[in-house]
Structure 1
Amino acid sequence: MTVRRRRMHLAAHFPGVNSTTVWADPRSRSQIEFSSFEHLARTAERGLFDFFFLAEGLRLREHKGRIHDLDVVGRPESLTVLNALAGVTEHLGLAATVNATFNEPYELARRLATLDHLSGGRAAWNVVTSSDAFTGENFRRGGFLDRADRYTRAAEFIEVARELWDSGDSDGVFRPFAHRGQHFDIAGEFGVPRSPQGHPVVIQAGDSDEGREFAAATADVVFTRHGTLEAGRSFYADVKRRLARYGRTADDLKIMPGVTVVLGDTAAEAQERAAGIRRQQVSPQNAILALEQVWGADLSSYDPDGPLPDFDPVPDSGISQGRTRRGDTVAIAEKWRALSREKGLSIRQTVIEASARQSFIGTPEAVAAELEEFVTRDAADGFILVPHLTLGGLDEFVDRVVPLLQERGAFRTEYRGATLRSHLGLSDPAGRG
């Protein structure tokens, strides 16, 4: 079998609102103090990563009318944090998740162009959409879009932003812009000179057919959750195949799955550490919470160490609001029951087994080899690491795995360009839009 040898790309995701983060660990630190963001960003830059990635939360999730246990009270606005990080980093790309449903093109294009100037060409925008009326209550015009409209608005949003970024030059000479479309009808002058990258890098996440097509048409990077080699190869081939219809090549779009890594001096030690992390991530209380999201009912009387409910879920019960478990809950429940029966698992054990997050577990040498295999076998162009600890969760990977990747010739040994586009090997956007 012939494999292509390519250098991988690496990025870091700030851990936060998800079941990956271990809140109870004594080493866990603040989600809002600048020192937390600074430490992870500096670590990522020490590891020569391409970019640092912040998520966005526009409303605190709720479960049974109370703040969700895995949410955090206090989520700083991403672009504000990244503007501050631009002053304490030199090379690292700075990626903000910003919702295309609840923002407007002129304002966001201006903020992203500003970050690109302040950082010397390191800005990126992770485009997300929403059809969530619960989140939309925080915004005007009824606050939300039908699911059928969210990608059409996002596509037009990106189109308008690129028109704005292209309307000025680096000398501060601007051409008036005018856009008349389904979702936006604006005209005027942009007012921010063309930024070092021309266009900030656009990142997208979405696994539906509509999401894959959107990525092929508009994105520079895809953030995916396909964690196995075969699933990654299938997704990679499908999305890359779609690029040609938009006049793009395979190198114009980087596919980077979000992954977790657990290391040990031996394979057995790594597996033991991974199991311990999963037990921390899924406490008895959080096991019941996860079960309630699937079954759509109050299950607080159930024993986490006991059996799963013997009744079917209540679809669309509204027990959780915001970003919660989606999909066919009846099918999920049946899958969990089958898993529980097959392995003799309790509620907590089933949730741990069914929602396992560790993607790569092993010695540093084994993990480095497996990461490289994903890239050489066209399952990924690189990876976005999602550590389980806020503050120090990335250090061990940078100290123990990155040097091995460099020895294998699989990862850079220095930054060779000044912009995020140069780190990612993306072409100049001149004329694109």
Structure 2
Amino acid sequence: MSTAKKQIHLAAHFPGVNSTTIWSDPASGSQIDFSSFEHFAATAERGKLDFLFLAEGLRLREHKGEIHDLDVVGRPDTLTVLAAVAAITEHLGVVGTINTTFNEPFELARQLASLELVSGGRSGWNIVTSNDAFTGENFRRGGFLGNPDRYTRAAEFVDVATALWQGAGVEHHGEFFDVVGPLSVPVSPQGKPVILQAGVSDEGRDLAARYADAIFSPFADLAKGREFYADIQERLARFGRAPDSLKILPGASFVLGDTEREATERYDYERRAQVSAATAIRTVEAVWGRDLSEYDPDGPLPSIDLVVDEDITAGRAKTHRDSRGTAQQWLDRAEAEGLTLREAVITQQSRGVLVGTPEQVADRIDEFVQTEASDGFILVPSITPSGLDEFVDKVIPLLQERGSFRTDYEGATLRENLFAH
């Protein structure tokens, strides 16, 4: 007797706030014009994807005291863009990252409840926390919260928002918030927005297992994905939740080719295009903590003796805590593999990428889902706004033919579509 295949869930991350975007490619379009969001959303809905995802930066990143011009500068507000996208789509979910550290639960609950209404129950909220005092300077509370406090604040934040979304009066007096409801917005078609969470620390995993409907995970490696999947299942049981009550969706970019060789060659081009000479130097400067503009990006990495462990990049989470230790690891790998400065950065910044023919990429996605390494993927194209087109045209039909991906939307709300299978 055959067993029905586990269904794949796919979403799309509008690129830009990451190191994946290839700004220099002739096909690259605007990160700001609404026509880009419109094209991207139309493609995602044509492919029957679950939702469109937007990241958010609350302050422009700075490097050596100046605006970091290799990143998005001036992207419109997330909730405003999502409301506009909801107006031009019928089934596609609209999900945005909104910070719990620098917002207030009553105001955000009202904004998300409004997005729920105008979208017909297709909204989602990606919960993130921040310990970035540079960002906090622009908010009333400002300052800095360490890990335990920011996750405690996040949990209380979600508890308050959830109570408000239920439509009853709220009389909350907690460690971080004093809130008296109710909201002035009716209960939405799906009850409350779908909740996503993206942190993978121990505290982040517990927060997800307690509250989230989906996790935006970084584990696009099969073995690590299975380990993470199993860990989350154990945590779900600890919080009294069913195994199928949370979807795990790693972020992954993709590179397609008519042959495996063509895909590999295209991948090599994209990796170099993503890390320009200027990007390479600034990335190394952030680790070494000093100006290195006189160094050749196609030459060797600077000596470990030059590391001063200063924060010269602000507005973005540090990817390392031990600057000298990180620099030494980079130097050791560069020496062992004969890498230049730029090649070392390319190697260090490599993330989960699905590379191959459409058939090979479809095989890989199906393997992840059928062997419980994930429930699908959040796709991160390298080109805006047309980078998703090829995937929808070439890979989605193959997944549909295999019976692992929907041929049409099952429900009217994002939650119904996310949990249809």
CA distance in 2, matches of 1:316, 1:310: 13
Amino acid across the alignment from 2:100: A
Deviation at 1:75, TM superposition (A): 1.5
Tell me the residue number matched to 1:170.
none
CA distance in 1, matches of 2:181, 2:352: 49
Q: Is the CA contact 1:6–1:410 (under 8 Å) kept in the aligned structure 2?
A: yes
Deviation at 1:358, TM superposition (A): 5.2
Larger mean Cα displacement after TM superposition, 222-231 or 331-340: 331-340
CA distance in 1, matches of 2:128, 2:305: 32
Tell me the residue number matched to 1:132.
132
TM-score (norm 2): 0.96
Tell me the residue number matched to 1:220.
213
Task: Map 1:358-377; keep pairs closer than 5 Å.
Answer: 359-377=353-371
CA distance in 2, matches of 1:47, 1:112: 25
Task: Map 1:100-111; keep pairs closer than 5 Å.
Answer: 100-111=100-111
Deviation at 1:137, TM superposition (A): 0.7
Tell me the residue number matched to 1:57.
57
Tell me the residue number matched to 1:98.
98
Tell me the residue number matched to 1:35.
35
Larger mean Cα displacement after TM superposition, 306-315 or 209-218: 306-315
From the superposition, tell whether residues 157 and 25 of structure 1 become closer, same or farther in structure 2 (CA, over 3 Å): same
Deviation at 1:284, TM superposition (A): 1.2
Task: Map 1:135-174; keep pairs closer than 5 Å.
Answer: 135-167=135-167
Instruction: Indicate which of 354, 371, 380 corresponds to 2:374.
Output: 380
Determine whether 1:332 maps to 2:322.
no
Structure 1: tracts of 5 or more residues without a match: 168-174, 428-433
Partner-residue secondary structure (3-state), 1:114? helix
Instruction: Indicate which of 171, 174, 178 corresponds to 1:181.
Output: 174
Encode CA deviations 1:230-276: one digit per residue, 9 max, x unaligned. Answer: 01111111011100121101111100000010000111100000000
Encode CA deviations 1:366-388: one digit per residue, 9 max, x unaligned. Answer: 00001100001111001000111
From the superposition, tell whether residues 313 and 203 of structure 1 become closer, same or farther in structure 2 (CA, over 3 Å): farther
Instruction: Indicate which of 255, 262, 271 corresponds to 1:269.
Output: 262
Amino acid across the alignment from 2:374: A
Encode CA deviations 1:16-44: one digit per residue, 9 max, x unaligned. Answer: 12211111112111111111111101100
From the superposition, tell whether residues 8 and 183 of structure 1 become closer, same or farther in structure 2 (CA, over 3 Å): same
Q: Is the CA contact 2:8–2:366 (under 8 Å) kept in the aligned structure 1?
A: yes
CA distance in 2, matches of 1:401, 1:188: 47
CA distance in 1, matches of 2:275, 2:69: 11
Deviation at 1:188, TM superposition (A): 3.2
Tell me the residue number matched to 1:352.
346
From the superposition, tell whether residues 400 and 261 of structure 1 become closer, same or farther in structure 2 (CA, over 3 Å): same
Partner-residue secondary structure (3-state), 1:223? strand
Deviation at 1:339, TM superposition (A): 1.9
Task: Map 1:271-290; keep pairs closer than 5 Å.
Answer: 271-290=264-283
CA distance in 2, matches of 1:426, 1:184: 36
Amino acid across the alignment from 2:137: E
| Alignment coverage as a number of residue pairs | 419
Structure 2: tracts of 5 or more residues without a match: none
CA distance in 2, matches of 1:121, 1:346: 50
Determine whether 1:240 maps to 2:233.
yes
Partner-residue secondary structure (3-state), 2:97? strand
Report sequence identity in percent. Answer: 60
Larger mean Cα displacement after TM superposition, 329-338 or 146-155: 329-338
TM-score (norm 1): 0.94
